[in-house]
Amino acid sequence: MVTQKVLQKMAKRHGTPILVVDHDVIRQNYATFKKHLPRVQAYYAVKAFADPVVVKTLFDAGASFDVASMPELKIVYKNIKEMPAKERQDWIWDKIIYAHPIKADKTLQELNQYKPLVTYDNHEEIKKIKKYAPNAGLALRLKVPNTGAMVELSSKFGAAPGEAVDLILEAVKAGLVVEGLSFHVGSQTTNFDNYVQAINLAYSIFQEAKDRGYNKMNLLDIGGGFPAPYDSTVRPFSELAHKINVEIDRLFPKEIQILAEPGRFMVATAATAVSKIIGKAVRDGKVCYYIDDGVYHTFSGILFDHCQYHLNSFRKGAKQICTVFGPTCDALDVVSMSEELPPNLELGELLYSNNAGAYTIASSTPFNGFPPAKVVHVNR
Ligand SMILES: *Cc1c(COP(=O)(O)O)cnc(C)c1O
């Protein structure tokens, strides 16, 4: 991780707010993932941090990608286009999965030329894919338990287990090819049994499909949700990986390709937000700092990702509970009501926040005219 000195140097050079991205950490996270899940190909979920430089680092490390819109696809595709022709396939499945179960007609029309691998979870989508993207390969997205995830997804997507095989056979009957299954256990999943249950459920769907005459499924996509070590309560990744390995080796023969879509895990720990104190007041006896980054900007994850970020001072010394506000006029723009900071910080001093790589700048808005933090890349 970049040192405090580097953070201060970067803030001086680029001004604030900035988001400092350490590409060595991204490479380490990818290596950790591969080391503990050797059978699983990682498709980095671009939405976690859709920066082309981040995508390039992961591409060079050997990652594949989960995209959910044409702009995301194009960020990744640029790297594929630049590969030597002999290393390129005429399909993109080994590098990209389009993992949004609901796609607009126009998106499907555009996708078709790439012969993409796409997910689906309902009847209407089969008709749309048949009509607009018949070259696509399909993965059925299953609804699986999301208990204990910080961000729940099962209310919006996923076929119920009871209708799964009907949806597979219906797509096949329409002349499409169903390559396999996918699921998402919910983001920042600290309940590791969610993966175990979901893998077992997927196995039972594979079996039922076979029993009902369809045995062409050859991939299982275990989705995202791998927790970032935000604090010491998150159990080690190796423990989760072990559980997953045991289940996939027990239930799925080697010919079945296993994919995963880690977003947060790859980037959360790789970025540090640095902001500046631009105002200070004492309200109801409590010190309130106003900084130049907030919940409409890098700290948008407080709202959209149910995530809390800790602010730190570069200065040592006694700490007190303070409030930290963002820069906009909106009273919703509160970074923290209870941050432990020195009470005597002065205007112009810097604060920093670790683990700010996932779902932060990705959902930053230009609200109230305040521009997003500048992204600064180190060790690329
Ligand atoms: C958001 C998302 C991911 C990434 O989830 P993380 O929790 O960040 O790993 C993966 N797959 C799909 C389909 C998603 O929507």
Is 267's C-beta closer than 6 angstroms to any atom of ligand 1?
Answer: no
Q: How far, in Å, CA of 342 to CA of 313, rounded?
A: 7
Half-sphere exposure of 138 (CA within 13 A, CB side): 32
- Residue 15: C-alpha distances to residues 7, 10, 231 (Å): 11, 8, 29
Q: Indicate which CATH number applies to the domain containing 335.
A: 2.40.37.10
Nearest CA to ligand 1 atom 13: 99
Secondary structure of the chain as H, E, C letters: CCCHHHHHHHHHHHCCCEEEEEHHHHHHHHHHHHHHCCCEEEEEEHHHCCCHHHHHHHHHHCCEEEECCHHHHHHHHHHHHCCCHHHCCCCCCCCEEECCCCCCHHHHHHHHHHCCEEEECCHHHHHHHHHHCCCCEEEEEECCCCCCEEECCCCCCCECHHHHHHHHHHHHHCCCEEEEEECCCCEEECCCHHHHHHHHHHHHHHHHHHHCCCCCCCEEECCCCCCCCCCCCCCCHHHHHHHHHHHHHHHCCCCCEEEECCCHHHHHHHEEEEEEEEEEEEECCEEEEEECCCCCCHHHHHHHCCCCCCCEECCCCCCEEEEEECCCCCCCCEEEEEEEECCCCCCCCEEEECCCCCCCHHHCCCHHHCCCCEEEEECC
Is 186's C-beta closer than 6 angstroms to any atom of ligand 1?
Answer: no
From the CA of 47, how far away is ligand 1's center (Å)?
A: 8
State the closest ligand 1 atom to the C-alpha of 151, by its place in the atom list counted from 1: 7
- Extract the tokens encoding 49: 């941090």
Q: How far, in Å, CA of 339 to CA of 350, rounded?
A: 15
From the CA of 85, how far away is ligand 1's center (Å)?
A: 30
State the closest ligand 1 atom to the C-alpha of 264, by its place in the atom list counted from 1: 8
The answer to whether residues 227 and 335 belong to one domain is: no
The answer to whether residues 139 and 230 belong to one domain is: yes
The answer to whether residues 169 and 146 belong to one domain is: yes
Is 50's C-beta closer than 6 angstroms to any atom of ligand 1?
Answer: no
What's the pLDDT score for residue 155? Answer: 85
From the CA of 6, how far away is ligand 1's center (Å)?
A: 31
State yes or no: is 288 an active-site residue. no
From the CA of 192, how far away is ligand 1's center (Å)?
A: 16
Q: Angle between the 193-211 and 161-173 helix axes, to the nearest 10 degrees?
A: 50
The answer to whether residues 180 and 291 belong to one domain is: no
What's the pLDDT score for residue 90? Answer: 60
From the CA of 375, how far away is ligand 1's center (Å)?
A: 22
What's the pLDDT score for residue 151? Answer: 82
- Extract the tokens encoding 274: 């640095």
Is 154's C-beta closer than 6 angstroms to any atom of ligand 1?
Answer: no
What's the pLDDT score for residue 380? Answer: 76
Q: Which of 224, 245, 267 is the last residue of a domain?
A: 267
Q: Which of 209, 243, 267 is the last residue of a domain?
A: 267
Is 224's C-beta closer than 6 angstroms to any atom of ligand 1?
Answer: yes
The answer to whether residues 194 and 309 belong to one domain is: no
Q: How far, in Å, CA of 89 to CA of 95, rounded?
A: 9
Pick from 298, 300, 277: which is nearest to 287 by CA? 277
Pair 133, 118: CB distance under 8 Å: yes
Is 66's C-beta closer than 6 angstroms to any atom of ligand 1?
Answer: yes
Domain span holding position 229? 23-267
To test ligand 1's pocket by mutation, which of 43, 47, 97 has the most ligand atoms within 8 angstroms of CB?
A: 47
The answer to whether residues 364 and 298 belong to one domain is: yes
Instruction: Please give the tally of structural domains in the chain.
Output: 2
From the CA of 72, how far away is ligand 1's center (Å)?
A: 14
The answer to whether residues 76 and 141 belong to one domain is: yes
What's the pLDDT score for residue 143? Answer: 96
Q: Which of 267, 282, 299 is the last residue of a domain?
A: 267
Find the length of the chain: 380
pTM (two decimals): 0.96
The answer to whether residues 106 and 224 belong to one domain is: yes
Is 47's C-beta closer than 6 angstroms to any atom of ligand 1?
Answer: yes
The answer to whether residues 262 and 280 belong to one domain is: no
Is 225's C-beta closer than 6 angstroms to any atom of ligand 1?
Answer: yes
State the closest ligand 1 atom to the C-alpha of 100, by its place in the atom list counted from 1: 13
State the closest ligand 1 atom to the C-alpha of 358, by its place in the atom list counted from 1: 8
Q: Which residues of the chain, if any, have pLDDT below 50?
A: none
The answer to whether residues 262 and 291 belong to one domain is: no
